[in-house]
Structure 1
Amino acid sequence: MKSSASFSPAACRNLKLASLLLGGSLLLAGCAGNPPTEQFAVTESVVRDAESAGGTQYAAVEMKSAQDKLKQAEFALHDKDYEKAKKLAEQAEWDARVAERKALAAKARKAVEDAQQGVQELREESLRNAQ
């Protein structure tokens, strides 16, 4: 018995295109469904480092922004809005990096000022001793 089903070249092309579109959609949906756990681990580490460096004291605005964005990212993660969670976590990471750099720079400036003050005090003491 001969099969009566035969496909034209155009029908085969349409079937291939439909298969590719469906496969691509499933692939994208699969990627969008993965929680950004690695990004969260990096962000949490960077925020802790910034806090340890004195970010809360020397870069309060940036530190607050990093902490707020991380909290918003946690809410988005809980709501399974992984794209938003990743974006917020990345922003929090960079805010924390800025806070850490500002804190380190402020500490370095303070150390230079303290050293200059120490040199000035030594000069004054040596002048007193010389008289």
Structure 2
Amino acid sequence: MELTNMKTRTSPTSSTHLRGLKLAALALGSSLVLAGCAGKPPSEQYAVTQSAVNSAVSAGGTEFAAVEMKAAQDKFKQAEIAMHDKKYDDARLLAEQAEWDARVAERKAQAAKVQKALQDSRQGVQDLREEGLRSAE
């Protein structure tokens, strides 16, 4: 019986195949991680938006910035529907838009209140001047 010495050769295609397999596994893992992030409900953004809408209402947004408040409340309701339907990317976008609409409404309401207070102060000064002029006559 004669033993022959067999040489095992590794072909360059096996290392290339292994490298391709590693890259495929990495790509699959990355896509799963990204899909996991995309599939996560935007709970934090939802809470921030709800707080912003409540703050705008408290500041008088419904009275002084009705258009902005309506936009914020409508988008917030749409975000709730998107959350319910598990369309988390849409829900996050709508919640962010609603947050900014609410912040604009709050600032606009604050500015309107300041403007009204300034106007009332000017009217008070005018009334005092007129009263002073009448008493001087």
Once the 2 structures are TM-superposed, how far is the Cα of residue 120 of structure 1 from its aligned partner? Answer: 0.3
Match of 1:71 in 2: 77
* Worse-superposed segment, 10-19 or 110-119: 10-19
Partner amino acid, structure 2, of 1:8:
S
Q: Given the alignment, which residue of 45, 64, 74 partners 1:39?
A: 45
1:12 Cα offset (Å): 1.3
SS of the residue corresponding to residue 86 of structure 2 reads: coil
| Aligned residue identity for 2:128 | L
Deviations 1:84-108 (A, max 9, x none): 0000000000000000011000110
What are the ranges of 5 or more consecutive residues in structure 2 without an aligned counterpart?
A: 1-7
Give, in whole Å, the separation in 2 of the partners of 1:110 and 1:49: 20
Deviation, structure 1 residue 83? 0.5
Map Cα deviations across residues 11-52 of structure 1 (whole Å, 9 max, x no partner): 111011101111011101111111111001000000000001
Identity %: 67
**Aligned partner letter, 1:68:** D
Q: TM-score normalized by structure 1? A: 0.94
Q: Give the alignment partner of residue 89 of structure 1, picking from 77, 92, 95.
A: 95
Question: 2:50 is matched by which residue type in structure 1?
Answer: E
Give matches, 1:14-25, under 5 Å. Answer: 14-25=20-31
Aligned residues: 127
1:53 and 1:97 map into 2 onto residues whose CA distance is 10
Note the alpha carbon deviations across 1:52-88, whole angstroms, 9 max, x for none: 1110011111000000000000000000000000000
Please say if 1:129 is aligned against 2:135.
Answer: yes
Runs of 4+ in structure 1 over 3 Å off: none
Letter in 2 for 1:113: Q
The answer to whether the aligner puts 1:98 opposite 2:86 as a matched pair is: no
RMSD: 1.3
Aligned with 2:64 (options 58, 63, 67): 58
Instruction: Structure 1 unaligned segments of length 5 or more: list them.
Output: none
